[in-house]
Every structure is written in structure tokens, then in C-alpha cells.
Structure 1
Amino acid sequence: MTGATGSVGGQVVAQLREPVRSFSRATGGDLTNVDSVRAALDGVDKVFLVWPFFHTDGLEKVLDAIAEQAKRIVYLSSAGAPDWAGAAETLIEQTGLEWTFLRPTGFAANALQWAAEIKSDGVVRTPYGDLARPHIHEYDMAAVGVRALLTDDHVGAKLTLSGPELVTQYEQVRIIGEVIGRDLRLDEQSPEQARAAMLAGGWPTAMVDQVLAGWAAMAADPEPVVSTVEDVTGVRAKTFRDWADDHASAFTSQGG
């Protein structure tokens, strides 16, 4: 279980009812060190892979180590399989492992990036306020991942995952405000302003351009809402309001 301390990985660990070996920096794991990966895999037959990089450098060696021990891998990919995720999927397909790819749309948890602004002055600054996405709760991604690990029903499947409804960024801010009992607002930036702010914040130029291009494309042609979560788990996917209720403390002065 890589990324066990992240939002999705942590939920996978919590929902699994079988012994789990967590692999994260917090437990001494290092995906850039193949020996570290190999040591952690001793006796492991199934792997939930969260690859935390926007490139595949070093992934092939990690997959070789996984294939030496495990028989199945569930990979947290991305909707539309952008360049880096698509390349990772191709490498996994070539290993001979049983595989399942989870392709979530926008993470509801991405709203946590607004927490500092909300706690400061209650104003979220971002471009494309009307951008609507079917944000997905990390609980639902994990619930599908657990079933892919424990059953044979999804071997060889590329599962697009979404929340149950399209929610704009304006609506996200309003919902968070309603949950925490504050009047919040979104101050819409131009793409140029957003790009300058992201670069100033240390984002790599290539990533900034890719993210902004993706937002522009989704603003013009929103991602579809799909029923995969309910189809696989039998339970309707959680809404963005459900996510906001679960994480309300992150947006208050008492939160982290």
C-alpha cells in the first residue's frame, strides 16, 4: 500500500479488512529507492499504487520489483489518463500483473488548497469560477479500490470515477461557507493572474500550463457524471457537501 498517509491511501487502509503493509515516507518508504520498495514487498501479493510524481522516471524499476512478488496491482490514475498517467498505465500493462486502473475526476480534497484563504479573509482567489466538475470524495475512490483489490470482478478494468453531480467552484465556496457558518466569496482571477500566482508559489512551468489548459478545456466541456462508484459498491457516491461536512474543521480557525 503506497501513499498510505495520503487522503485516498489512508482510506484504503481504513476500509481494508485484511492485513496491510503501509509504504510511505512516514514509515521509511521511498519510491525512488528500489531496494526500499523490494524490501517492503516481501510476502505481499496485492499492491495499491499511488505514484506521487507527474512523470514516470523510476516507475519501471518499481514495477519490476512489484512483479517479482505480487500478482495484482490497483493503480490510482487520473480521468482522461493525461500524459504521465497514461504512460504509467502502459508500463503497468506490460508487467504481466493483474491490474485495475482507477481514473477519478477532480478530487473533492483539492478544495483544501483554499483553507488558508478561507481562514484568513474568507475570499478564495481562483480562475474559472463557473468551472463545474463532479468532485469525488476520497472515501469513494478507496471503496472502489478495495473491491478491486479483494475481488476478481475488476481485473483489466479502467474505471472512471466521479461524484454524483457537477458542482462549480462558486458553488463549492458557497457550500463550504454554509457548512462552517460563514459568508465566503470567490474572487475570480484571470488565467494570466492565476498563472503568475502559481509560478510565484513554486509550481513548475510545465505543470502550470498543463493545469490551466485542463481547466479551460473542462470549463468548455465538463467531465461526465458516471455511476461507477454505485455500480461497484452498491452505494451512491458522496456529494461535495458530504465531503465539506467531513472536513469542516480544516476551514475553521480550530482546524489544521
Structure 2
Amino acid sequence: MRILVTGASGTIGGEVLRQLLAAGHPVRALTRDPARAGLPEAAEVVAGNLAEPDTLTGLFTGVDRMFLAPAFAVARTAEQVVAAATAAGVRRIVTLSSGAVVDDEPGVEDADYHHADEVTVERAVEAAGVEWTHVRAGEFMANTLDWAQAIRTTGVVSSPFGKIASGMVHEADIAAVAVAALTQDGHHGAKYVLTGSELVTPPEQVAAIAAAIGRQLRFEAISPAQARASWQAQGYDPAFIDWMLGPEDAPLAESDFVGAAELTDDVERVLGRPAHTYARWAADHAADFR
């Protein structure tokens, strides 16, 4: 059984790669630039770009299972990529999707759906006639690595919506569920929605990082307008800013979100243990904040 991991230099793909190698599975890892990716020597690393199918010649030869991510990189070419994979003998595909995808949500099939890329990839895989599993991950705990520079230099994290609790999920849990679906039977047709085991607010996240690195840190609540200006100055994608804060002429309010987050038990059902806490994630990543 040879497993292909796409997005192998990404947060989730990289963790899937490491867990598969640790379990002794032969893995082929796809990345656009092997020389810069720094991937483990135990992996068979190949160059290619999912958005450019012509670069994938021979990629699927000898592969029977595939982890397919990230959606934005393959959405435009999803049908071509999946067709090439299945023609070469891939018989099981696990996708990294989004927990925000809701099957019965109005407009889910529309081109302007808020996670249209993920839906496009999911549908292409479902139509391929292979075993499939969708790993619909919620907000990554790893997103808070964006705070690392501010924590190292000022000890202050400035962010809007400080009262909003999130069921953030550890990348190790996302990867472990994907690895289970790749290597074990019984996951065909599953759409796992992954969250952590608890709801945590940004100030609680900052407190967990402070405990992990042994420093005093402070959370500073800022307005959505201040956040927009800061993110624009840092070059964030305007679509991302509007997704997080709402459009500039109709900004979201904190009251729109408080109490809206939900937890699932899919991590525990698949892995037989609770999802990791944010405190565990902070301890795992303490070096990133020092």
C-alpha cells in the first residue's frame, strides 16, 4: 500500500505525512518545490502542482490511496486530477475539507458559496467511483501561530471578537483522523466534522500560550475596524478579511457570533480518545512563541 500525500509541505499535509511515516507506511509526497520543502528523507518526494495537471506525469503510478489537499489548489482542476489518479489505480481518496461546509445549506452548490472550492473537490471525489472520506476540519489551532511575532516582540496579542469561543482543533487530530481513513477500513462515505474538545476564547488561548512559555502575556481587544486596517496593512487577502469581519459597509458584530460555536465528537469516535485541548497545542508549539 503506497499512499500519496498532496499538500505535503502544508500544516495538515505535513502532519499526515509525518504520522504515516511514523507508522511505517510507504509515502509519496507531492510539493511544488522539493528543494525548499524540507520534507522527511523517508518520504519519496516528487515535484508537481495540482493546479497544473501537466506537471503530474507519473505521480499516481503505484499509488492506491491519496490524501487530497488543499482544496484551493485543486478546485479548478479537480476532475482532471481525480480522473488521472483513478485511471492509474488510486482506489481510496481522503480529502481535507472545511467544517463550514453544510450539505443542506441553501446555495451550497453555487459558485459563490463561501467554501465553493471544498465543495467542488468533494463532489469530484464522490463521483469518481472510489472509496472516499471527507475530513471537514474546523478552525485550526495552528491559525494562532499568526500571533507568534507579536508575542515574541511585545507580549501583547491584539484581536477583535475576544468574547467569541471557538472549538479549535489541533492539526495532529485532523491528521490522525485522515490517517485512520487512509489506512483502516470502515470510513467510506464518512464526512467527519472535526473540532476540539472544548470552546476557548482568544484571551483563554493567550493565557494557555503564556503558561506554555512561562511568560506574562496580555490580550488586547480591538475593534473590527482596527483589525481591518491592521490586516490590510499586512497584505491579507481582502476576501479573507471580509469573511472574518464582514464587508466594510456591513461589518459583523461580536454579538453575531457569541454562543454560535458547536463541538463535535468525531475525533473521539474515530480515534477512541478525546480531541486535544488548546493547552496541549500551546505546549506542543511553545518553541514557536519563544
Taking structure 1 as the reference length, what is the TM-score of the superposition?
Answer: 0.91
Cα offset, 1:135, TM superposition? 1.2
* Aligned-partner SS, 1:167: coil
Q: How does 1:14-163 map to 2 (within 5 A)?
A: 14-16=18-20, 17-27=24-34, 28-51=47-70, 53=72, 56-69=75-88, 70-81=90-101, 82-163=115-196
Instruction: Check the 8 A contact 1:131/1:218 in 2, yes or no.
Output: no
Q: Which amino acid is the alignment partner of residue 63 of structure 2?
A: V
| 1:6 partnered with 2:39 | no
Q: How does 1:227-246 map to 2 (within 5 A)?
A: 227-246=265-284
Cα offset, 1:201, TM superposition? 2.0
Which structure has more RCO (C-alpha within 8 Å, separation ≥ 6)?
1
Q: How does 1:151-190 map to 2 (within 5 A)?
A: 151-190=184-223
Instruction: Check the 8 A contact 2:78/2:120 in 1, yes or no.
Output: no
Cα offset, 1:55, TM superposition? 7.9
Question: Cα RMSD between the aligned structures?
Answer: 2.0
Q: Counterparts of 1:217 and 1:19 in 2: how far apart (Å)?
A: 49
Q: What is the total number of aligned residue pairs between the two structures?
A: 252
Q: Report the more deviating stretch, 89-98 or 155-164.
A: 89-98
Question: More helix per residue: 1 or 2?
Answer: 1
Q: Where does structure 2 lack aligned partners over 5 or more consecutive residues?
A: 35-46, 102-114, 247-251
Q: Give % identity.
A: 41
Cα offset, 1:215, TM superposition? 9.0
Cα offset, 1:36, TM superposition? 2.3
Q: Which amino acid is the alignment partner of residue 56 of structure 1?
A: A
Q: Where does structure 1 lack aligned partners over 5 or more consecutive residues?
A: none
Cα offset, 1:19, TM superposition? 0.5
* Aligned-partner SS, 1:65: helix
Listed one character per residue, the Cα deviations across residues 12-37 of structure 1 (whole Å, up to 9, x for unaligned) are 12222310000112422222221222
Taking structure 2 as the reference length, what is the TM-score of the superposition?
Answer: 0.81
Q: Which amino acid is the alignment partner of residue 226 of structure 1?
A: T
